[in-house]
Copies of this chain bind each other. A is one copy, B any other.
Amino acid sequence: MDIKIIDVARTAKVSPTTVSRVLNNSPLVKQRTRDSVLKVIEELNYVPHAAAKNLRLQKTMTIGIIVSDIKVSYNADIVKGIQNKAYSEKYKIVICDTQNDMEIEREYLRLLMDRSVDGLILIATMLTEQEITGIADRGYAVGIIGRSIEHDKVLNVHTDNVKAAKEAVEHLIAQGHREIVFLSGYPNAKDSFDRLEGYIKALSAHDIPFRPELVENGNFNKSGGYEAIKRLTFKGALFTAVFSANDEMALGVYEICHEMGRTIPEELAIIGVDNDRVSKYLSPSLSTIDQPKYEMGFMLADKLIRYMNGDFKQPRLTILESRLLIRRSSDYPRKGISSSE
C-alpha cells in the first residue's frame, strides 16, 4: 500500500493539515515543524496522490494535445515547443495522435472531456468550428495551430501564409518562371488555402494571368504530389516551376521527376513549405518556407497557460514570421531573364 498524508502526519506527530501546508509551502508553519515533516516525507518517500489532489483542486496541471501525426517533423517541432513550455510551468502533456483520422480525433476529444486535462491544443485539426468552440464553451482552454477560429475563447498562433507564399512565388517569378504550378493540400485546409491566395497575389502583382488548370491537389502527402504532377503531365500542361503547399508533396515531385528524367532545378524549379528535416538533405536541396514551429508551440503553450491562470486580456491571436529558404531546387535563373525583371 502506498504512503498517504495521514501516515506522514502520524510519524511526524502532526496533523495532515500541517503536512499539507508543508507540501504546499504555506508560510504559516514553524520552521522546526517544517523541517521535521520534510524529513519524514523524505524517509517515507511520500508522494501526494495525483487523483486526490486533482479532485480536490479541480485541475490536473495537464495539457492535452491532439495532433494529426506525431511523426511528421512539422508536428514534432510544435509538440516539442509546447512540451518545453509546459515543463517549465510544471504542466504535463498528453499526446493524442489521430493518424489523420477524423473519427479517431473525435474519439480522443470525447476521451479528454473528462477533466483529465485543463486545456487542449489542436494541431492541424479536422474538427468543425462548432466542435472546437464547443470545447471552449465547456470551460476548457483551447489553443489551435494551423487554422484560424474566430472565437474569443480560442487561442491562436500562426504565420502569415499569404505573405510567405507570395514571397516564395515572387522568387520563382524573379527566376524567370511564368508557368508555375500550385500544389494544394487538403481541400479544406486553411493553410493551403492561404498559400493559394499568396500564389495568386504574386501572379497578379506581376501581370501573370492566373490559370486554374495549374492548380492541382496533392493532399499534403508524398504520393499526392507524385500523382498531381503525373496528372498535369498527362494532360499536357506546360510548367517550369512548382510551388508545393508543403515539403512532403515535394518529395513526390522529386520522385516523378527522377522517373521522367526531368532535372531539378534546370528543367523544373520547386519550392515547398515547412522546412521538413529531410528537405535540406535532398538532392538538390529543397527551397522551402521555414515556419518557426518550435516557437509556435512554445508561444501557444504560453498563451494557454496564462489563460488557464486567469489572464484573459492577452491577444487571442499571435502571428509569427516565417522565412523563405532559397536552396538549390529553385536556384537556376531561366535564360534570357535578368535579375531586374
Number of copies: 2
Point out the residues of chain B lying under 8 angstroms from A92, CB to CB.
94, 96, 111, 116
A96: shortest Cβ distance to chain B, in Å?
A: 8
> Is there an interface contact between A71 and B77, defined as CB atoms closer than 8 Å?
yes
- What's the dominant secondary structure at chain A's contact region? mixed
- CA gap between A84 and B107 in the complex, in Å: 13
Known: A2-B115, A49-B114. 18 other contacts (CB 8 A): A47-B110, A47-B113, A48-B114, A49-B55, A51-B51, A51-B52, A51-B60, A70-B70, A73-B277, A83-B95, A83-B97, A84-B97, A92-B94, A92-B111, A93-B94, A251-B281, A277-B277, A277-B278
> Is there an interface contact between A51 and B54, defined as CB atoms closer than 8 Å?
yes
- CA gap between A60 and B52 in the complex, in Å: 12
Judged by a CB distance under 8 angstroms, whether A234 is at the interface is no
Question: How many residues in A have their beta carbons less than 8 Å from beta carbons of B?
Answer: 46
Judged by a CB distance under 8 angstroms, whether A80 is at the interface is yes
Point out the residues of chain B lying under 8 angstroms from A79, CB to CB.
70, 95
Using A55-B49, A80-B70 as known contacts, say yes or no to A62 and B115 having CB atoms under 8 A apart.
Answer: no
Q: Across the interface, name the chain B residue whose C-beta is closest to A73.
A: B71
Which listed residue (B49, B84, B115, B282) contacts A50, Cβ 8 A?
B115
Q: Across the interface, name the chain B residue whose C-beta is closest to A52.
A: B55
A63: shortest Cβ distance to chain B, in Å?
A: 10
- CA gap between A94 and B87 in the complex, in Å: 12
A residues engaging B (CB < 8 A)? 2, 47-55, 58, 60, 62, 70-71, 73, 76-77, 79-80, 83-84, 87, 90, 92-97, 99, 104, 108, 110-111, 113-116, 139, 251, 277-278, 281-283
> Is there an interface contact between B62 and A94, defined as CB atoms closer than 8 Å?
yes
- CA gap between A169 and B83 in the complex, in Å: 39
Q: Across the interface, name the chain B residue whose C-beta is closest to A254.
A: B281
- CA gap between A87 and B150 in the complex, in Å: 31
What are 17 A-B contacts defined by CB distance under 8 Å?
A47-B115, A48-B114, A50-B54, A50-B114, A51-B52, A70-B70, A71-B73, A71-B77, A73-B277, A83-B97, A87-B97, A92-B96, A92-B116, A93-B94, A94-B94, A251-B281, A281-B282
> Is there an interface contact between B60 and A71, defined as CB atoms closer than 8 Å?
no
Point out the residues of chain B lying under 8 angstroms from A55, CB to CB.
49, 51-52, 55
